[in-house]
Amino acid sequence: MAQVRSNPKYAAITEDLVLRLSQEALTSGLSGKPAVKFVRNKLHQVGGAYFKRDIDYTEAARTLAELPQQLDAQEVWAFCRTLMQSHASTAERLPIIGDFYTTCLASIAPITSILDLACGLNPLSLPWMPVAANLQYHACDIYLDMLGLIDSFLEHFNITGSASSCDLVSQVPRNRVQVAFLLKSIPCLEQMDKRIATALLTAIKAEHILVSFPIHSLGGRQKGMFAFYRDHFYDLVAGQPWAVLEFEFKTELAFLVTK
Ligand SMILES: C[S@@+](CC[C@H](N)C(=O)[O-])C[C@H]1O[C@@H](n2cnc3c(N)ncnc32)[C@H](O)[C@@H]1O
pLDDT digits (tens, 9 = 90+) for 23-74: 999 999 999 999 999 999 999 999 999 999 999 999 999 999 999 999 999 9
- Separation between Cα atoms, residue 90 and residue 101, nearest integer Å: 13
Query: Three-state secondary structure along 59-116?
Result: HHHHHHHCCCCCCCCHHHHHHHHHHHCCEHHHHHHHHHHHHHHHHHHHHHCCEEEEEE
Give the integer Cα–Cα distance in Å for 214 and 41: 22
CA 31 to ligand 1 centroid distance, Å: 27
Q: What are phi and psi of 142, to 5 degrees?
A: -100, -10
Distance CA 8, CA 225 (A): 33
Query: pLDDT-based confidence at 224, cuts 50/70/90?
Result: confident
pLDDT at 221 over 80: no
* C-alpha triplet 69, 183, 222: angle, nearest 5°: 125
Edge-to-edge strands, sheet with 252-258: 160-165, 131-141, 111-117, 177-183, 206-214, 252-258, 243-248
Percentage above 70 pLDDT, the chain: 98
* In the chain, ranges of CATH 3.40.50.150 domains: 57-258
Question: Residue 57's CB: how many other CB atoms inside 10 A?
Answer: 18
Q: From the alpha carbon of 46, which atom of ligand 1 is closest?
A: 15
124 lines ligand 1 (CB under 6 A): no
pLDDT at 138: 98
Instruction: Assess whether the C-beta atom of 141 lies below 6 angstroms from ligand 1.
Output: yes
Please state, in angstroms and rounded to a whole number, the distance separating the CA atoms of residues 107 and 103: 8
125 vs 218, which has greater pLDDT? 125
Each residue of 161-176: pLDDT tens digit? 999 999 999 999 999 9
Q: Find the mean pLDDT for residues 181-209.
A: 97
What ranges make up the beta strands (E) of 96-239? 111-117, 131-141, 160-165, 177-183, 206-214
Whether ligand 1 lies within 6 angstroms of the CB of 168 is answered as yes
Q: What is the pLDDT of residue 217?
A: 75
SS3 148: helix
Q: Which amino acid is at 255?
A: F
Q: Can the peptide bond before residue 110 be classed as cis, meaning omega within 30 degrees of 0? A: yes
Position 152 scores a pLDDT of: 98
Asked whether 50 lines ligand 1 (CB < 6 A), one says yes
Residue of 15, 18, 46, 147 to mutate, ligand 1, most atoms within 8 A of C-beta: 46
Provide the pLDDT confidence category of residue 222 given band limits of 50, 70 and 90. Answer: low
Assign domain 57-258 to its CATH architecture: 3-Layer(aba) Sandwich (3.40)
**pLDDT at res. 141:** 98
Pocket of ligand 1 contains residue 183 by CB under 6 Å = yes
Strand 206-214 vs strand 177-183: parallel, antiparallel, or unpaired? parallel
The answer, yes or no, to whether any atom of ligand 1 lies below 6 A from the CB of 92, is no
Cβ atoms of 29 and 161 closer than 8 Å: no
User: How far is ligand 1, taken at its centre, from the CA of residue 5, in Å?
Assistant: 19
**Does pLDDT of 220 surpass 80?**
no
Tell which residue, 76, 93, 71, has the closest CA to residue 84.
93
Distance 112 CA to ligand 1 centre (A): 23
| CA of 157 relative to ligand 1 center, distance in Å | 24
Q: Are 99 and 64 in contact (CB under 8 A)?
A: no
Residue 47 is inside which H or E element, if any?
none
Which of 208, 203, 199, 187 minimizes the C-alpha distance to 114? Answer: 208
pLDDT level of residue 17 (50, 70, 90 thresholds): very high
Record the pTM. 0.97
Helix orientation angle between 57-65 and 144-156, rounded to the nearest 10 degrees = 0
